[in-house]
Structure 1
Amino acid sequence: MMPEWYQEKPLGEYENIYVVAATEKVQPKRTAAGGGITALLCYLIDNNMIDGAATSARDVEGLGGRIVVARTREEIIRTAGNEWQVLPFTNKLMETIENEDLKKVAVVGLPCQIHFIRQMKTFPLVESNFGNRVQFLISLFCYGTFAHESILNYIKEKHGMDISSIKEIKVSQKSVKFMGEKTLEIPFGELSKYIHMGCLMCPDYTGAFSDISAGNIGGKTIMIVRNKMSEEILREAEGSGYISTSKCDEETVKKIEERAVEKIKRASEYIPRLL
């Protein structure tokens, strides 16, 4: 059921894979890993390469999310962190970009969201210049996202956790960790039935249609650089003291490839079942 290129190149086309970390020039207060994405966005906005960075931010109360366009370094740092919810991303993004009259936007999203925006850039609608305003696409590694209300009801009933106390959620391929008045770590398999249906049919783990893909592997930010423009931007950001980079080791690359293949296999299994 999967196109051959998914099987042959589970990470998609790319130039290089790096471990990237923020330097002292950028000090994110709360990040999922080494702060590489935050530092790169700060470089782009400090140097007027973008006039906004669109991402999701958790609401002050609870775990709901909203679309945020950060227009300054301070706003980018405030939105740093591990976001896990699915939002009506593209509609809200288009509305926000138009309302705020943004001309050059970097978008951080999930593979499915980035794929859609890439299509908008490649095949623009006559009545909209939305795609032309998006300058840079960053995809987060994603194995699937959860139905918000269902999973919260489950951990409340099954594990007795006060969901109003949850301040942070960390999702890995092996487990989901909820941190609040106490820390609750649940095996990923126990929660897999709450994954969104569309995620089960999605074969893209890293975001093959992005300019840069990024994820937290072993507490470090791994970046897959997919084109020469992105490679040049990364080199400039490092030269300006925003980030440090090193080549990703073969063992870590193999881990990422294994996760990507697992997601492809899962999609191959579920597509004929659900269509």
Structure 2
Amino acid sequence: MEDSRRAVASTGLLVAAIRAMESIRDDRLFTDPFAEKLAGETGRALLEKALAETGERAAVQIVIRTRFFDEAMLRAVRTAKQVVIVAAGMDSRAYRLEWPDGVTVFELDQPAVIAAKRDILVDDTPRCARVAIGVDLAHDWPAALTAAGFDPTAPTAWLVEGLLQYLDEAAVRTLFERIDALSAAKSTLLYDVVGKSLLESPMMAPLLEAMEKQGSPWLFGTDEPGELAQRHGWSATVTDIAEVATKWNRGIAPPNAGNVPNPPRGYFVEATRP
């Protein structure tokens, strides 16, 4: 199995290891029974290294993000029966969430990543119709998606999680244009984005340096996260990550802690197309 994981970006394995770590806590915010096997030895080693270098802050953010989008996805599929997870990596939602009847989850990622997950979860059964599509997101993924059975005339729940910071601004804009072109009325778009202030914050320097060393530099951030969807006519609700962390009693200071002007932030966005 570790041979398969060599094709997966280290960030995907690290995130799976964080989900596995959260799943054994007494006060866990979710349970992911697939995370441990998805992470493997490589993911566990990456997590140990990350905790030693940057502490628990990044891990807490991923835990909060996972729970937030779990809940948001299940809200979205009350009206949308097709889900698209962009750059799905080692995401296990198709296998672990209680999806309503009739939901189809499309997962997009590099062919090698799709193949690796197939090998790891070969004995497991998803809890919905799952369609895995191996395609480079820099290429014509909308054509691959529609060829796999996606219906652009039906409402869709889109999830873009943990991706935007790795793209440059032009690629981010192109991604949102493509999603908008494929989205019918009553579609939902869920995404997270780091604040530009966060990218420039001294407290983030160790994490950003570590990400760059492993070949995954953070390139994009904005403190107007709703604008990415609003410029295409979507309505957007923006939630500060720290506010959610405070609600769930996890250790990220609220954005106004210490009365620091323009504090560094990260955001979750839940956008809907009228």
Category of TM-score, reference length = shorter chain: 0.3 to 0.5
For normalisation by structure 1, the TM-score amounts to: 0.36
Higher strand share: 1
Higher relative contact order (CA closer than 8 Å, sequence separation 6+): 1
TM-score by length of 2: 0.36
